[in-house]
Amino acid sequence: MIGMWPCAASIFRRRWANRGAQAHSASYLGTMTETLTLAAILIPCLIIAIVFHEVAHGWVALKLGDTTARDLGRLTLNPIRHVDPVGTLLVPGALALFGGPIFGWAKPVPVNQRRLHNPRYGMMAVAAAGPGTNILLALAGAIVVGIAGGLAVNWGTELPEIVKTAFGAFILINAFLAFFNLLPIPPFDGSHIVGGLLPRRWARQWQQLQALGMLLLVVLIVATWAFPEARWVEKTIFPPVEWMSNLFYSVADGIANFLA
């Protein structure tokens, strides 16, 4: 599970502004800074999104014949079990200290492809499970806030702005992590999906690129830091993320209006 936190935060700030952030700030920030408020909202959303993403990989692998994740105790919602000391703490901390883009990853859930019933297509399913779970979480968040909003209107009130903001962030973060991890380059989930779709003669060569995954990740971090004006992540990820988040916002509004 890999993510670039400032990109998700950037989308969220834009969405927050469009959904009445000024009124929210006047009511809730008080003496707190916008950054602290943003962190208080984003961090729990990130933890939930990351943990469910990783557990989904292991759970699908288990259903398809590989018990590795279960045997190693990784099929748990305890976030500590999914912390990578380097990717979750050291790298993001160092990048933040030196003013770079805060890039990080969780501890990958171990999967033994050879133990899957169908190694080729099974690995595709395992890889797709993480982003797919993030999309389902975003949909679940839209349904919950839609129902809560509709019931609130029936009771003669409305949801607090901070609740709507938090659910908006939850939807955005899950949409962002889904699409970001679907990028078809190692070591992202999308690279495993592409590997399963390629003809076998090409798939072997593609598989060799997986060994270079960490090197490619370092290059990605450095390139993002060295050439911020390129904004390749924003140009690649933002359009589908905003499309999906807007779709789920419409679902939430539709449910709320139906129940109101």
Write out the catalytic residue numbers: 54
- Which residues are bridge partners to 3 per DSSP? 104
What's the length of the chain?
A: 260
Q: Is-contact 255 147, C-beta < 8 A?
A: yes
Element at 2 (helix H, strand E): strand 2-4
Give every CB contact of residue 164 below 8 A, 6+ residues apart in sequence.
19, 145, 149
CA 164 to chain centroid, in Å, comes to: 19
3-state secondary structure of 142: helix
Owner of token pair 């990784």: 74
- The phi and psi torsions of 77 (rounded to 5 degrees) equal -90, 5
Nearest to 131 by CA among 207, 214, 225, 237: 237
| Cis peptide bond upstream of 240, omega within 30 | no
From residue 27, alpha-carbon distances to 44, 144, 237, 243 in Å are 21, 24, 32, 29
